[in-house]
Amino acid sequence: MGETVIPLADLRYAAPVPAIPALAIPATGLLSDALGRPLRDLRISVTDRCNFRCSYCMPKEVFDRDYVFLPQTSLLSFEEITRLARLFVAHGVQKIRLTGGEPLLRKGLESLIAMLAGLRTPEGAPLDITLTTNGSVLARKAKALAAAGLQRVTVSLDGLDDAIFRRMNDVDFPVADVLAGIEAAHAAGLGPIKVNMVVKRGTNQQEIVPMARYFREQFDGRIVLRFIEYMDVGASNGWRMDEVLPSAEVLKLLQAEWPLEPLDPTVTGETAERWRYADGRGEIGLISSVTQAFCSDCNRARLSTEGKLFLCLFATRGHDLRTLLRNGASDADITSALAAVWAGRDDRYSELRAAQPADATAAGERRVEMHYIGG
């Protein structure tokens, strides 16, 4: 009998297999964690690979040509992803976001989108299916994504100045190609489109106002631009607090150019603080995960590329669902296991950040990298 070989890449983030409770826990759509937070949003990473090497996510000095990514056999199949998604939906998930790495690098992704688009909530409503992308291949894939059932896209774009953008993606990729992708997504009806700009002090803060002006004027406010504080995700990006430009400073820069009015959140647990231009030409968002924690109503779970469930973006450990899937666990068993895991969730890293070790490895645990579970 041959030996089972477990690739080294699979051992990068060790995770226990969730216990199946002795008494079944049926799905009611009303699952809450230890702090009373419901499960509403599932973020699914479909690949740990990306064609960019942004310093705040996959710095080239770490993720070089010798870096070992997950082998194809480790990745969840589309059928496995859809099965898990269906069980999460039964527990109350209403929104699924496909992430990466760069999700559009996963071959045949349109098939997965079509499968997920066929799912329904217990009340019979379709899911909100979205995707986050760096936009590098969006121009040629937008129509097919929309046809498969994708509803919206969020595009990461950290500046309009081509030199700054090429320096930040660190693979010399031109900004014009990303802008073409946004145009194609808009034409394909993948909206409302959101554009995410990670702001890093000393690197691209001079792009804040030009970015706002471009999307306000070019799309007449139909694209929402969101500014994200540079976060201490993972352990590879060399994060320092002095490189964080607080959202309050971003807001001051914008208000010096245009009058802005605050807006109420669209849904509970929304990460962005919303502001509207007083003249009605669209809105901007501020995601302040460093200076204004939003743990108190976080309703997001994250599923990694090879089936580990993470309960927080800043987690050090996940829960191995792939083993349950491939060892023949029934839907009822997995449903119960998911319920038990979420019910025990008490993560609130951002609220406790000041008390955490400056280096996650100092506590004996390495935080999961952003490319592995998505933003």
Domain ranges (residues) in the chain: 8-373
The per-residue pLDDT of the chain, averaged, comes to: 89
The pLDDT of residue 312 is 85
- Predicted confidence band at 266 (pLDDT cuts at 50, 70, 90)? confident
What percent of the chain lies above the pLDDT cut of 70? 87
Instruction: State the pairing for strand pair 308-310/273-277.
Output: unpaired
pLDDT at position 362 over 60: no
Long-range contacts of 164-169 (CB under 8 A, 24+ apart): 164/203, 164/204, 164/206, 164/207, 168/54, 168/55, 168/203, 168/204, 169/52, 169/53, 169/54, 169/134
The pLDDT of residue 316 is 78
Percent of residues in the chain assigned helix, strand, coil, to nearest 5: 35, 15, 50
Give the amino acid at 80.
E
Fold of 8-373: TIM Barrel (3.20.20)
Phi and psi at 115, nearest 5°, equal: -65, -45
- Predicted confidence band at 3 (pLDDT cuts at 50, 70, 90)? low
**Contacts (Cβ under 8 Å, ≥6 apart) of 348:** 35, 293, 295, 296, 298, 312
Question: Which residues on adjacent β-strands are paired with residue 277?
Answer: 260
Phi and psi at 276, nearest 5°, equal: -115, 140
The pLDDT of residue 358 is 46
The pLDDT of residue 7 is 58
- Could you read off the pLDDT of 15-67 as tens digits, one per residue? 899 999 999 999 999 999 999 999 999 999 999 999 999 888 888 888 898 88
* Cα–Cα nearest to 108, from 74, 88, 70, 81: 81
Give the amino acid at 183.
E
**17 exposure class (CB count in 10 Å sphere: 0-12, 13-18, 19+):** middle
The pLDDT of residue 356 is 56
pLDDT at position 128 over 80: yes
pLDDT at position 1 over 50: no
